[in-house]
Chains A and B, each alone.
Chain A
């Protein structure tokens, strides 16, 4: 790589001018001649049998062009509508209920499509939808995962044998028998991960147009991975991929909820084909909250065995996961929580088991962090639970058990190899910034005055940059998560780069251009980065999720640029009348080794590349590269949170939040900070506010608007102090790691540990998320009640 000029610099985002002036191209903003509107008629019940559907009145409603139910799609969605792929492991048990985009006989979650109404105006389609009369026989809704897992439970799908989606034991309990037998101390905890609504600010929009003359389909939609959608839609509609174009311009956030295909992704293009008119579906917020694949929804039962001096011996962890009514594309990825539960520490042995249970709810799927926030919460909560039991400072317990700097690459208990790390240095830096020793001294004083002040740490680690073929191939039914990029240098020197990743807020158009500009030695302005159109660029792009756009996608860009430079050397050798092996490329210029004065700029070489060349040399200056990473990348860090819990109301006030993170080499520090801010905010929101709440009986989602689902506002966001250390990854050419999910992975544990520390004088050892003031108030009341029954609580 050329000497860095742009990499590492705080370059302002090139995507911003259109977004700050109202000229973004989100799917709902695209003008389309003759487009008609589709509204989905959804099941109001979580579980019901469809007796009949009457569409006559709807068909006669003003402006209504068509009303379709499942039988109408039989011939058009004739191929498999892929919603879920093979899980990542060889399970002891697996049930993957079949799913069709539109229910015919039985609905299994509230919001499942049963009919669609299409009209000239959206309002007319919505009016028509009101007139579709569905006769349901309501069936029991299976909502509680523990009850659903029991033999004899009511069933989520009447045609499935039971509700167990999968059951996998990674390492059997016998493996930790020794650890638990020899332990001085064993601590246990049940840790809940509530269901979360991903809530990108842009809900989903799908528009499709079918050209019946050319037999080509064009789709515009809000997705994180257009090529995957093309693959699935083409398969379902029985079309070749060459005839399907998927375009995803600006996307208003994803957070994982725009990875998997949705029923409308199949229904809308099918309707465009049936009607031979462009059709558009615009999701409402309530539809999004009912139907977007949810995050988390898990219960962990954890036991930790340790010596009196704090040496960790063994862990046993069971994940009970709420799969929802069906499996989604990457449902099974969430099991990585079991493989990561050991965190940043040495263990003699860890046993783990994941069981997923079907329920009559929208499926869960990766949501920012996906499995790794859960793992971090387990590891970091258990550190504090153990520290409390041992009366040890949580910092010293962590320090004692950290995987040490000189041990990397380190193969952890489940055979995953952590590329690089320096956990202690990062923690020490965070402790220093936070003033940890002073905070503890102050806390002692504050406690004397009855103040409930707590300090929480999260020394998180993460696996990301999905990902190596050996790990991801089996999870996707064979497609390994590599990444592609194509570089075209045009005759006058302009550069177009087509990337297989997607950009929905991450700033990739900027960071990718920084990498390319440095590699090619030309100004950024000469480079256009293109994403989100399957008709452009390489044969397949894998999309953006799992903090992979830089650590995987960025390397594909680097490599495609290097391939172009190699071709450029052939052309330059011809122009400079030298041997190809004597040509050196430096700062955008080709020159003969030892003679830098005699050089040709990249632009000159580009022009020549399209002209007369020696026999046997092809015209053109372009290249495609795919990069399959040899390993995941493993960022890490330490977050420290200080809270005060109001002793009267249970309200939590975050007084300090320090985050020292290490994502290897940094391309653009401004963007890294932004990713951390947003991630930390999402974690704080999970820790304190957010929860999807369903009615236990009817299965109705009660938190289906922003009035009922508590999103974090500017008022609740605390000040964040960021700092970093730099430990490059040895597994890629840029030494980079991912940072998109890190904040979310780290922060819930820091906040909850701080709250638990604050409440420990009351004898409270654990609190669940969301730690809302009413819950904490209740827990404090109970603890005080218990203490007035004889135990002394307040010291």
Chain B
């Protein structure tokens, strides 16, 4: 059975008819056509598909597309604005925070949420904040550095999520 779902993806309103069982990550990749959000596992353990739903980090494989009705979704494609990289993107580039790059969008989105909640995280807080994301290439060393560097650039307290302030409702 198909259902109508309306969402806002990276600031653009989207309306589609989708099957009940369609996962949000497949909706984004196959229906909306935004393939920057990757799939790394079947069991919600790797965090590769992390996006922001109303400002909160959510693994988009844990939600059905229909549950995103009326939500504001931010994917990696929505992070750079007017040709300017988001400070986190810039930091991952500067600090060699990626190798194969497959897990990177998920890390950037998870880190964006982390910094929105805690603009000046300690190293330990960064490690714990990112423990839901797996990377097989970097040993996390430069990912942690990237987040530290972005936190500095974003000027601590100024840092709020790219979209709108976090609200309590979300697909966690």
Contacts and interface: CB of A to CB of B under 8 A. Distances in A.
Interface of A: 12-13, 15-17, 19-24, 26, 28-29, 31, 123, 199-203, 250-253, 255, 284-286, 504-507, 670-671, 673-674, 677-682, 705-707, 711-715, 717, 719-720, 743
Given A21-B77, A674-B142, A714-B130, A16 B101 contact: yes
A713 B41 contact: no
Given A252-B38, A714-B144, A20 B136 contact: no
Given A201-B48, A250-B101, A673-B96, A711 B136 contact: yes
Question: For A15, A22, A286, which residue has the most chain B Cβ atoms within 10 angstroms?
Answer: A22
The binding surface of chain B is classed by DSSP as loop
Contacts of B38: 26, 28, 201-202, 252
A705 to B, nearest CB: 5
B112 interface: no
A284 B96 CA distance: 28
Contacts of A717: 127, 139-141
A22 B36 contact: yes
B128 interface: yes
Given A705-B45, A715-B128, A715-B131, A16 B102 contact: no
B115 to A, nearest CB: 15
B35 A22 contact: yes
A711 B93 contact: no
A213 to B, nearest CB: 29
Given A202-B38, A504-B100, A678-B99, A22 B131 contact: no
B43 interface: yes
Nearest to A16: B93
A284 B42 contact: yes
A715 B98 CA distance: 18
Contacts of B141: 677, 681, 717, 719-720
A123 B34 CA distance: 19
A719 B126 CA distance: 14
Contact of A678 (B79, B80, B139): B139
Nearest to A288: B41
B98 A19 contact: yes
B102 A26 contact: yes
B135 interface: yes
B5 interface: no
A22 B37 contact: yes
A22 B98 contact: no
Given A22-B34, A505-B100, A505-B137, A12 B46 contact: no
A28 B30 CA distance: 10
Interface residues of B, number: 54
B143 interface: yes
B6 to A, nearest CB: 22
B101 A200 contact: no
Nearest to A722: B141
A20 B134 contact: no
Contact of B102 (A15, A201, A673, A713): A201
Nearest to B41: A285
14 contacts: A13-B96, A20-B85, A22-B77, A23-B36, A24-B101, A31-B33, A201-B103, A202-B100, A253-B102, A255-B136, A504-B100, A681-B140, A706-B43, A720-B141
Nearest to B106: A201
- Give the most central of A251, A679, A714: most B CB within 10 Å: A714
Interface string B85-129: 100010011101011111111001000000000000000001110
B134 A506 contact: no
A671 B96 contact: yes
Contacts of B134: 201, 706, 711, 713
Nearest to B45: A706
A199 B98 CA distance: 16
A505 B128 contact: no
Contacts of B171: none
Contact of B93 (A12, A28, A714): A12
B21 interface: yes
Nearest to A743: B139
A21 B139 contact: no
B72 interface: no
Contact of B98 (A20, A28, A286, A712): A20
Contacts of A201: 38, 40, 46, 48, 100, 102-103, 134-137
A506 B41 CA distance: 23
B39 interface: yes
Contacts of A255: 136
A251 to B, nearest CB: 7
Contacts of B101: 15-16, 19-20, 24, 250, 252, 505
Contacts of A285: 40-43, 46
B153 interface: no
A731 B17 CA distance: 62
Interface string B1-44: 00000000000000000010100000001000111111111110
A96 B139 CA distance: 37
A18 to B, nearest CB: 8
Given A255-B136, A713-B134, A123 B144 contact: no
A714 B40 CA distance: 17
Contacts of B33: 31
Given A20-B92, A505-B100, A28 B39 contact: yes
Given A678-B137, A714-B126, A506 B79 contact: no
Contacts of B21: 123
A301 to B, nearest CB: 31
Contacts of B39: 28
Given A23-B77, A678-B138, A714-B133, 4 more contacts: A20-B108, A678-B137, A681-B139, A714-B144
